[in-house]
């Protein structure tokens, strides 16, 4: 339940989550910080607002002084430019990463396949490349 967005919780999960958050102030702080990151992604309307909001979010996260959170925030800080760049066009590379993952899985499954054409057809079928051809062409 802690990983779910607050607006997707079922009615019976809300009091359970509230009880969980009241057990530990650090968990409550991190959960609220996660929700603020979701709001930042959805509500930053331009790049200047995104930069300001992200820096404010990082500062708030560091102010909790939770060692595990500070370690995670280092990654956010290292990738801040890439994270903020999402607000230029609101595109992600999720589709590309998904296809790369499918190809890697296929490579493991088809390691001893002798027919290279069969292997390439499987990649095209798994990645819906026939759909991409119709979009590009």
Phi, psi values for residue 79, rounded to 5°: -110, 20
- Packing angle of the helix pair 94-109, 116-126 (nearest 10 deg): 150
Checking if the pLDDT of 107 tops 90, the result is no
At 136, the pLDDT band (50, 70, 90 cuts) reads very low
Backbone angle region of 66, left / alpha / beta, with phi > 0 → left and psi within -120 to 50 → alpha: beta
User: What does the pLDDT look like over 44-89, one tens digit per residue?
Assistant: 888 999 999 999 999 999 999 999 999 999 999 999 998 998 888 8
Q: Which residue has the higher pLDDT, 45 or 128?
A: 45
pLDDT band at 1 (very low <50, low <70, confident <90, very high): confident
Name the residue with higher pLDDT: 80 or 107: 80
pTM for this model (two decimals):
0.69
Please state, in angstroms and rounded to a whole number, the distance separating the CA atoms of residues 93 and 17: 32
User: What is the widest separation between alpha-carbon atoms in the chain?
Assistant: 59
Secondary element (H or E) of residue 89 = helix 80-89
């Amino acid at each position: 339940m802690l990983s779910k967005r607050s607006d997707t919780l079922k009615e019976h999960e809300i009091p359970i989550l509230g009880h969980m958050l009241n057990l530990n102030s650090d968990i409550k702080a991190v959960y609220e910080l996660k929700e603020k990151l979701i709001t930042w992604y959805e509500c930053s309307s331009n790049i200047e607002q995104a930069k300001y909001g992200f820096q404010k979010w990082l500062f708030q996260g560091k102010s909790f002084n939770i060692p595990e959170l500070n370690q995670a925030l280092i990654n956010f800080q290292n990738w801040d430019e890439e994270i903020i760049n999402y607000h230029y066009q609101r595109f992600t590379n999720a589709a590309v990463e998904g296809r790369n993952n499918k190809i890697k899985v296929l490579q493991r499954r088809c390691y001893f396949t002798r027919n290279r054409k069969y292997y390439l057809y499987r990649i095209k079928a798994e990645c819906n490349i026939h759909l991409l051809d119709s979009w590009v062409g």
